[in-house]
A and B are shown apart, each in its own frame.
Chain A
Amino acid sequence: MRVTFPQMAEVQILLETILHELGVETVSPPPINGETVELGVKYAPEFICYPFKMNLGNYLQALQRGADTVLMAGGCGPCRFGNYAEVQQEILRGLGYDVKFIILEPPRAGAPPFWRELLAFLGWRRMLKLPQALGFAWKKLNVLEEINRKVRWLQPREAQVGNALALYRRYRRLAAEASLVKDLALVRESFRQELAAVPRREGYRPLRILLAGEIYMVLEPNVNFHVEETLGRMDVEVHRAISISNWVKENLLRGLNRRAVQRQALRAEKYLRCFVGGHGRETVAEAVHAGVNGYDGMVQIMPFTCMPELVAQSILPEVGRDYRLPVMTLILDEHSGEAGVCTRLEAFVDLIRRGREKSA
């Protein structure tokens, strides 16, 4: 059994860590590239959202490299993500691949419960090792996200351009390769020291922009044209509340985080009264958060035809008006070009910067 999974930011490192700890062989798809896009677009339904197409491209590339099992999450609506695996499965079988899907469905979806699926996949021996593997992967994820967060803070402030990104690439690799908890702690410690040693422009206050939107498009740098790095290069401090760890906390450990979920709902309530699937309500809540905390702007990223984000997009102008918060929406799919996205981001940042200079 050679297992593959979709590419999405830190998910690859996370799943590889877990599966290796359990002794399952994995075949990671290559990072999203032109071929992924081409394959995905060719075989996916025309009007499906972009993440679906990328997933499909990932699977096809991994299947060509010898994978035979796909690990994927499910859902119970109303967002299309909940039906991804079902359709992807039919498409791959239609193309003649003998592929097994392991779909981890939430309990309410009306499918066999996920633990039964997991048990059939892992067997009892590995199942017993699962908690330990999960714990280690969770620690690794936290280190990876800390690296990302701190580099985003450093990038606009560094005295010499390029230090922060070099640091990011090196430590991300080190963290990904760490195979012991002890190593992880070492990586974290030495990252913190090196970060503190990078020379900075003193007293510089960069623009603060909040990134929100559909989780896949926000997190996967290869489909959003490295939006965080690009903004960082424009001397902007990028914040985002969306991350894999937050998703796990809010969706998988909902019982432990009821407070956080309620807080989100409360923030958005004035503008959007009910859950709309995906990250629609979270986007509106983030906009309110950005407005209240005096961010300089917000960028919403979503794939073309994303339903929950479209609802949020319709409401964001109102939030923006109330809090005087500039909001830009980037709708991306296979037809988006890097130059176009960069130009729009530059124009947006220029606009905000000019506004700030005028009011100062």
Chain B
Amino acid sequence: MVWPKVGKDWSKGGTDRLRIGIPRALLYHWYGKAWESFLLACGFTPVVSPPTGRRQVELGVRAAQDEICLPVKVFMGHVRYLAEVEKVDAVFVPHQIQVEKNRFICPKFMGLPDMVRAVLPRGMPMLLWLNDRQRHLWSVQAVDGQIRRKLPKEKIRRALSLARQVASERWTELAQAAGSQNQGLQIGVIAHPYCLYDGHLSMDLLGRLRAADVQVLTPEMTPDRWLQAKIPGLNKPLFWTLGRRIMAAALYYAEQGVDGVIHLAAFGCGPESVVGELVARRLQEHGIPLLGLNLDEHTGEAGFATRLEAFLDLVTRRKSCCG
């Protein structure tokens, strides 16, 4: 195995604390704050890359294969930024195969560390965070072996329980209604968290909607009851965590009687091509307008804004004339 070890004798503590880079991409938008506090409690200095900007996109596009989806390219960009600009001592790479039982995130998440290694400068160590069938989220087994071997178990436990607490705070924050509470338009947005909460990738979709005085629903606001329920018309449960959330969210929006739904997806996203089709068919049955927006590194802001405006106009007019 050619996984380089994290250097310096860091287990002794002291002022020379290791700087661990956390890329602000992919599931950082769910778990990032918790990872940060975990690393801090373990005695590292977490360095989070700045919010996505043109620089990270460019670095990532250059490093990754052409056909990979934008969020993964952006992740690579953040990793390179941390390694090349911030010069961190190691990069924290979440290897999240399953965060729920029997459900996967996406094949690209499964191969993430190996893909990252191909773009990292030679010898740059990685700290992994592995979640799979046996290693549940926030369990001791999820922590990288290098940390587990050097730190006392008690310290890791304490750090993890802190992380769990921060994570649940983040969930409540995400689940709280965003946008205005007035009786204007109500729009449901379905998207993966790393597309939706990344202002650069989503062209600040949430901000734009809020500015247009629209009440926004996001997949994170969908009640648990809906997430656990069986999806009508399917023989078996969907096997993607995020796809399933999107599906459930769309059905929940339909039940809530939203005025329209916006589907924000990365170009070439595998699960979305399947889930998007299933969602579109169900929304059509309910007679709810759907706007599909695809993102890639060539997406222009003007085109995006125009489509969004046109959709909002359409929904407004539809509401005022059809009640």
- Report if A and B associate in a common complex: yes
Taking CB atoms, residues of chain B closer than 8 Å to A312 are 111
Contact B273 A45 (CB under 8 A): yes
Say yes or no: is B77 at the interface (Cβ < 8 Å to chain A).
no
Which residues of A, 275-317, contact B by the 8 Å Cβ criterion?
275-278, 280, 304-308, 310-315, 317
Interface residue stretch chosen among B25-33, B113-121, B221-229: B113-121
Decide yes or no: A270 and B2 within 8 Å by CB, A108-B102, A110-B102 being known contacts: yes
Which of A78, A86, A308, A313 is close to B240, meaning CB atoms less than 8 Å apart?
A78
Interface residue count on the B side (C-beta < 8 Å) = 43
Contact A80 B235 (CB under 8 A): no
Interface residue stretch chosen among B42-50, B60-68, B155-163, B250-258: B60-68
Give the CA-CA distance A87 to B277 in the complex, in Å. 8
Interface residue count on the A side (C-beta < 8 Å) = 50
Interface residue stretch chosen among A7-15, A46-54, A174-182, A343-351: A46-54
Taking CB atoms, residues of chain B closer than 8 Å to A307 are 106-108, 270
- Considering the complex, give the chain B residue whose CB is closest to the CB of A48: B273
Contact A47 B272 (CB under 8 A): yes
Cβ of B273 to closest chain A Cβ, rounded Å: 4
Say yes or no: is A318 at the interface (Cβ < 8 Å to chain B).
yes
As a 0/1 sequence over residues 142 to 161 of chain B, the CB contacts with chain A under 8 angstroms (1 = contact) are 00000000000000000000
Say yes or no: is B267 at the interface (Cβ < 8 Å to chain A).
yes
Contact A48 B278 (CB under 8 A): no
Say yes or no: is A79 at the interface (Cβ < 8 Å to chain B).
yes
Which of B106, B115, B132, B273 is close to A46, meaning CB atoms less than 8 Å apart?
B273
- Considering the complex, give the chain B residue whose CB is closest to the CB of A77: B239
Contact B238 A103 (CB under 8 A): no
Say yes or no: is B1 at the interface (Cβ < 8 Å to chain A).
yes
Which of A77, A103, A304 is close to B235, meaning CB atoms less than 8 Å apart?
A103
Decide yes or no: A276 and B111 within 8 Å by CB, A45-B276, A80-B270, A86-B235 being known contacts: yes
Say yes or no: is A217 at the interface (Cβ < 8 Å to chain B).
no
Contact A78 B106 (CB under 8 A): yes
Say yes or no: is A90 at the interface (Cβ < 8 Å to chain B).
yes
Q: What would be 6 A-B contacts, judged by CB atoms less than 8 Å apart?
A: A45-B273, A78-B110, A80-B274, A90-B233, A273-B114, A276-B107
Question: Interface of A with B (CB < 8 Å)?
Answer: 45-49, 74, 76-80, 82-83, 86-87, 90-91, 94, 103, 105, 108-112, 269-278, 280, 304-308, 310-315, 317-318, 331
